[in-house]
Amino acid sequence: MRDMKVLHTIRDVPSNREGLCALSSNNDNSYLAYPGSSITGEVQVFDTLNLVRTNFYFEIEFFVFIETRYYD
């Protein structure tokens, strides 16, 4: 781990106190989704293989939360 270095820094990210993000990866592509605004429901998508922000734009109007419980 001594030779690890920063490859890219995503700038201009709004406040994200909860650390909300999602990483989707497979053999062909890998995307990181994170909040695009701290006011409206916007999501930015970053291409982690090419280290560029994508042209994808999503605007979220509402969320549906489904509770999942695990029992032993």
> Does pTM surpass 0.85?
no
Range of the domain at 6: 1-72
Domain count, the chain: 1
Which amino acid makes up residue 67?
Answer: E
Tokens of 51: 């280290």
Residue 45 in 3-state DSSP?
strand
Element of type H or E holding 29? none
Higher pLDDT, 68 or 36: 36
Tokens of 33: 């989704």
pLDDT tens for residues 9-49? 988 888 888 888 888 877 788 888 888 888 887 888 899 88
Looking at residue 54, its pLDDT comes to 87
Looking at residue 65, its pLDDT comes to 54
CB 31 within 8 A of CB 54: yes
Residue 32 in 3-state DSSP?
strand
Binned at pLDDT 50, 70 and 90, residue 66 comes out as low
